[in-house]
């Protein structure tokens, strides 16, 4: 009951607020009369103001009723003049509220023609926007005094109300198809002239970008995997590529790891120094030089990290809007979805809460017009599957089918070596190989690509990268000489020396 009373909160009207501070609300009564008079004089005037004004745009209540009557007649295909509008107001039982027949008749005396009706309509709309800002400000103030309000939800509501006013002020006009085709062809030509041919934010992985054409604006991308498959490493490698190579500002919301842990991973990946060395600080002189030399690009990279724990979807939306405004972020990364909460709104059934979160993430992507990439856990069904490959499927998404429904793309990370499969059917080594499975792609093809994965550096890269391809083959050679164990390349000095000898032999045996 108390909750219902809260929902029926009474706000001070704009007139009451204006009287309290001794000011008159923004209004233009004479111009309102002139616009209504023009609509009564010329039937074509309705076309000029129809996409600028609605009844609420008028300050005077009588004018709202008259405007509604005019458009009611217009919808029925009847002409609006002094007599027909009076009759329509009678039918609507609003003639008295509209000031009576005499008031409607004198409106035509306020204007000689409809020559400037569009300009006058825009003035009325501007006054309406000012009144709306005053109204929203008053409601925010009232809510802020209410101790029972959740602060995160209050911030979200305040921002959403202001955004709604701004969105209502954006008018788009209907266009003929010819200029739209010209615009579309210009985009195609621009893409054709680009070396990469990408229309979205590049991930930095060649084969993945070839399929996706880059992460597209307003898309929600879900990247899912079982624990320890390298989800965080994958998005950090992408964030590095996007920010350093393609100069796209990236925001990362880490709900699992601290910002320092994430930065240490980025440093290890960028400098190719093992994370163990960075944690212990046990670096030789040449390694310090390597660290200082290779970290320069990372220092200047437009990457913004937020490690707020137990972040609610409404706090995320408020932060994302601010980041978009301040830094014009080109992509948003969340690590990971199941650690978010829905705030007080979605408390209760966990599946419903996750559904709300995924739906809101899609709304954020559309509102900010950027790709939103969210990591997600998979359920244990992958391990329990009889299939020896243990490849994930869409049904393995944890806690909610709404994630699959809301996502524009769903990608899975699958590393066969984790399940003991070290060679493919052709005998090629799968050590250090990660398969990226595109299981859902609303606007394109699905498929599977392979990337190199260096676990000690938490780094993904293209297979074409010679260093990583060599490591994969070296790992295979080590396994061939082993007693059947899953030996993998690490950062010990002996392994480094052996690897360098192996690569030198490879170079000597290569004719090119």
Q: Where in the chain is the domain with CATH 1.10.860.10?
A: 14-168
Lowest mean pLDDT among 16-20, 42-46, 153-157, 363-367: 16-20
Average pLDDT rounded to a whole number, residues 40-63: 83
pLDDT for residue 491 is more than 60: no
pLDDT for residue 140 is more than 80: yes
Give the architecture-level CATH label for domain 14-168: Orthogonal Bundle (1.10)
Helix H or strand E encompassing 14: helix 14-20
Residue 312 per-residue DSSP state = B
Per-residue confidence band for 333, with pLDDT thresholds at 50, 70 and 90: very high
Three-state secondary structure of 142-155: HHHCCCCCCHHHHH
Lowest mean pLDDT among 117-126, 128-137, 174-183: 174-183
Residues 200, 238 contacting (CB under 8 angstroms): no
Average pLDDT rounded to a whole number, residues 100-129: 86
Residues 219, 411 contacting (CB under 8 angstroms): no
Greatest mean pLDDT range, 175-179, 183-187, 236-240, 384-388? 236-240
pLDDT for residue 372 is more than 90: yes
- Which among 185, 221, 191, 188 is positioned nearest to 203, based on CA atoms? 221
- Phi, psi angles (nearest 5°) of residue 114: -100, 25
Average pLDDT rounded to a whole number, residues 49-71: 87
pLDDT of residue 467: 45
Tokens representing 1? 């009951």
Give, in words, the CATH class of 196-462: alpha beta
Residues 187, 200 contacting (CB under 8 angstroms): no
Is residue 431 helix, strand or coil? Answer: coil
Neighbours of 161 (CB within 10 A): 17
Residues 7, 148 contacting (CB under 8 angstroms): no
> Per residue in 251-265, pLDDT tens?
999 888 888 888 888
- Please, what is the average pLDDT of the chain? 76
Per-residue confidence band for 12, with pLDDT thresholds at 50, 70 and 90: low
How far apart are alpha carbons 101 and 62 in whole angstroms?
12
| End-to-end Cα spacing for the chain | 80
| Global confidence as pTM | 0.59
pLDDT for residue 178 is more than 50: yes
Q: Where in the chain is the domain with CATH 3.40.50.300?
A: 196-462
Q: What percent of the chain has pLDDT over 90?
A: 5
Greatest mean pLDDT range, 167-171, 264-268, 388-392? 264-268
Which residue is associated with the tokens 């579309």? 184
- Which among 218, 212, 181 is positioned nearest to 196, based on CA atoms? 212
> Per residue in 281-332, pLDDT tens?
777 777 787 777 778 888 888 889 888 877 878 778 878 888 888 889 989 9
CA distances from 228 to 269, 363, 414 (A): 17, 30, 10
Neighbours of 201 (CB within 10 A): 24
pLDDT of residue 388: 66
- Which among 221, 195, 190 is positioned nearest to 206, based on CA atoms? 195
- Which among 242, 144, 208 is positioned nearest to 448, based on CA atoms? 208
> Per residue in 202-221, pLDDT tens?
888 888 888 888 888 888 99
> Per residue in 74-110, pLDDT tens?
777 788 888 998 998 999 999 989 889 999 888 888 7
pLDDT of residue 503: 44
């Amino acid at each position: 009951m108390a909750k219902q009373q809260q929902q029926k909160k009474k706000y001070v009207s704009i007139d009451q607020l204006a009287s309290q501070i001794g000011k008159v609300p923004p209004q233009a009564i004479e111009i309102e009369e002139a616009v209504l008079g023009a609509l009564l004089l010329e039937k074509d005037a309705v076309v000029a103001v129809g996409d600028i004004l609605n009844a609420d745009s008028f300050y005077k209540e009588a004018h709202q009723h008259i405007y509604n009557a005019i458009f009611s007649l217009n919808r029925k295909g009847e002409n609006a003049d002094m007599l027909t509008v009076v009759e329509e107001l009678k039918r609507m039982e609003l003639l008295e509220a509209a000031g009576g027949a005499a008031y409607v008749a004198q409106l035509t005396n306020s204007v000689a023609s409809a020559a400037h009706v569009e300009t006058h309509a825009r003035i009325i709309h501007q006054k309406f926007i000012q009144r709306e800002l005053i109204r929203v400000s008053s409601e925010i103030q009232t809510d802020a005094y209410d101790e029972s309000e959740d602060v995160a939800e209050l911030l979200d509501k305040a921002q959403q109300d202001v955004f709604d006013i701004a969105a209502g002020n954006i008018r788009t006009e209907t266009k003929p198809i010819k200029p739209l085709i010209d615009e579309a062809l210009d985009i195609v030509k621009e893409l054709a002239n680009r070396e990469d041919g990408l229309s979205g934010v590049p991930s930095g992985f060649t084969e993945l970008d070839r399929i996706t054409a880059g992460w597209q604006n307003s898309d929600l991308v879900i990247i899912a995997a079982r624990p320890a498959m390298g989800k965080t490493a994958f998005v950090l490698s992408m964030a590095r590529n996007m920010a350093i190579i393609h100069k796209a500002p990236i925001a990362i919301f880490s709900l699992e790891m601290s910002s320092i842990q994430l930065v240490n991973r980025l440093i290890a990946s960028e400098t190719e120094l093992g994370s163990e060395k960075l944690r212990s600080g046990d670096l030789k002189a040449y390694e310090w030089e390597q660290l200082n030399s290779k970290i320069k690009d990372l220092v200047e990279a437009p990457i913004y990290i937020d490690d707020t724990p137990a972040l609610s979807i409404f706090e995320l939306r408020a932060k994302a809007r601010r980041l978009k405004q301040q830094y014009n972020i080109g992509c948003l990364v969340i690590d990971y979805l199941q650690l978010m909460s829905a705030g007080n709104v979605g408390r209760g059934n966990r599946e419903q809460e996750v559904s709300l979160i995924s739906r809101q993430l899609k709304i954020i992507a559309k509102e900010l017009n950027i790709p939103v990439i969210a990591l997600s856990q998979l359920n244990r069904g992958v391990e329990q599957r009889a299939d020896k490959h243990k490849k994930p499927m869409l049904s393995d998404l944890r806690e909610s089918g709404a994630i699959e429904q809301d996502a524009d793309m769903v990608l899975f990370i699958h590393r066969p070596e984790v399940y003991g499969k070290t060679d493919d059917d052709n005998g090629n080594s799968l050590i250090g190989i990660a398969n990226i499975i595109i299981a859902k792609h609303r606007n394109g093809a699905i498929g599977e690509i392979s990337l190199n994965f260096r676990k000690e550096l938490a780094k993904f890269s293209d297979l074409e990268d010679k260093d990583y391809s060599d490591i994969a083959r070296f790992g295979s050679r080590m396994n061939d000489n082993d007693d059947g164990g899953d030996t993998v390349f690490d950062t010990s000095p002996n392994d480094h020396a052996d690897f360098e000898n192996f690569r030198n032999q490879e170079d000597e045996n290569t004719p090119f």
